[in-house]
Amino acid sequence: MNPKKLADDILIAVGGKDNLLSITHCATRLRFTLNDSNKLDKVALENNEGILGLVSNNGNYQLIIGTEVPHVYQAIQDLDGTLTGSTTQNNKDEYEKKPIIDRFLATISAIFTPYIPVLATSGIILGLIAIASNMGWLSPESPTYLTLNAMGSALLYFFPILLAFTAAKRFGANPYVGVVIGASLMHPDLSNLLVAGEQLSFMGIPYTAMEFANSVIPIIIAMWAFSYLEKYLKKFLPKALHFMLVPFISVIIMVPLSLIVFGPIGSLFANAIAWVYQFFLDGNVVIFSVVFGALFIFVIMFGLHWIVLPMQLQILAEQGFEYSLAAGGLGNYALLGVTLAILIFHHDKKLKEVAGSAAFVNLVSGITEPGLYGICMKNKRYFLALILGGAAGGLVGGLFQVYVEAFAFTGIIGLPAFAAASEVFPFYLVSVFVSIAVGFVVTVFLDKRLEFKLGKK
């Protein structure tokens, strides 16, 4: 792949740089919105060999590039340095005309995407030290263990500070002031006072304390409110005073408001999410796991996982364990079974090459787009193998109540993170094997063009 040429092709196909309303990327996808969707040349994008697929969802577009996507994104930035991944002021009115669900998905994606690789890194570190501790190689009281644990736990613990930066930036506020607001809430002197449920007061105003460590929702709500406060201050204060007074007034107002208002509101949201989540678990953890195993890969395929991910992270941070992250990844392994079946049995050499490449990146790093768009989208019957393989693995996981204790991607690289839940890790491996096996076998029997090597030529 030539990232510069592909970037140039993409800009031409989307109608030029002036037609780009916003652009960003995740691990494998280039995500963008347009001022005028009629200028989009879908045929050119779909026929481009450097693009695995195009997903369109109510004005939000995703180009499936693969692991080269950061280089393509940077090449587009180099062609036009004004593209920042967020809505520009000139295009604000056009952006606000988009459906609210599109804006919500784009916002959540922009806030969380930068931290996905680091979340995976944290999970791997926590998994490795859990293995070392369980094997007796590392004492939990040793300085080495404590240092490594700090590396693995830091991101989730200090998430309010990090999310303050990306959320403030996304909402159009000063991200550095946002970080100061988040850091104030995490200051040791204050955080020691914020014991959940305790009655405290600020300047005589009573409020119920909540712990901001590991939280997700309260700081995002606070940054949304901060963006409006900052705009209001800039509108009514003389420009000569903006440099000093806007940050000063913002911090003075937003920290107490976060404690008194946004913290409790965010806590209510988090508790409601936890209640709904627990309701489904109490109904039947087996059904819960089967549903996530069978269908979550489609949620990822359409980019809707940005709705679910904050909830999963919130529950993981609060409870210390989470079920759906384990079950939801089993569809990835079912896809691995599909691609392995095609690699071994299929006649088409080009398709076998695509399957081999897709199987490799899926096995190593859990990246599914090459298999989804290079294999399954071209033959819809393979989706049945995905559903059955993921559901079978979810059934095993549900029966043994498999959970995770750290955020993790599927694949070999992410495996240590799953090993952190040492009690259920063997059953997780069984569920992975079942998903791969069922995906493989169903693919073989679904596709009549396969050479079965069972006497049928």
- Residue-level pLDDT, tens digit, the chain, 457 residues: 688 888 888 988 888 878 887 787 776 788 888 888 888 888 888 888 888 878 776 667 888 887 778 888 888 887 755 444 444 444 455 555 566 666 776 777 778 878 877 877 888 888 888 888 878 888 888 888 899 889 888 888 888 899 999 999 888 899 999 999 999 988 888 877 777 667 777 888 887 777 787 778 889 999 999 999 999 998 888 888 888 899 999 999 999 998 888 888 877 877 777 787 778 777 788 999 999 999 888 887 776 676 777 778 878 877 888 898 899 999 999 999 999 999 988 877 878 888 888 888 888 878 787 788 778 877 778 899 999 999 999 999 999 999 998 887 888 888 888 888 888 999 999 999 999 999 999 998 887 654 444 444 4
Phi, psi (degrees; rounded to nearest 5) at 409: -90, 160
What six digits make up the tokens of 137?
């190689």
DSSP for residue 202: E
- CA dist 448 and 444 (Å) reads 8
Query: In the prediction, which pLDDT does 97 show?
Result: 56
The CATH number of the domain covering residues in 3-97: 3.30.1360.60
246-to-166, 179, 224, 440 alpha-carbon distances in Å: 19, 15, 16, 60
Query: In the prediction, which pLDDT does 58 show?
Result: 60
**What are the extents of the domains in the chain?**
3-97, 158-271, 284-446
Specify the amino acid at residue 274.
Answer: A
Where do runs of H (alpha helix) occur along 302-402?
Answer: 305-319, 324-328, 330-345, 349-365, 369-374, 382-399
DSSP 3-state assignment of 209? Answer: coil
Residue carrying the six token digits 């295009």: 91
Q: CA 277, 278, 282 angle in degrees (round to 5)?
A: 125
Phi, psi (degrees; rounded to nearest 5) at 245: -75, -35
Specify the amino acid at residue 391.
Answer: A
- CA dist 21 and 340 (Å) reads 40
Query: In the prediction, which pLDDT does 99 show?
Result: 61
Q: CA 102, 326, 135 angle in degrees (round to 5)?
A: 140
SS (H, E, C) 25-53: ECCCEEEEEECCHHHCCHHHHHCCCCCCE
What six digits make up the tokens of 198?
């305790």
Where do runs of H (alpha helix) occur along 187-304?
Answer: 188-191, 217-236, 242-257, 263-283, 285-301
- CA dist 307 and 371 (Å) reads 23
- CA dist 43 and 369 (Å) reads 19
Query: In the prediction, which pLDDT does 88 show?
Result: 42
Give which of 295, 311, 306, 333 is closest to 410, Cα–Cα. Answer: 333
Across-strand partners of 291?
none
What six digits make up the tokens of 125?
């570190």
Q: Are strands 60-64 and 199-202 parallel, antiparallel or unpaired?
A: unpaired
Residue carrying the six token digits 């993790």: 408
Query: In the prediction, which pLDDT does 141 show?
Result: 86
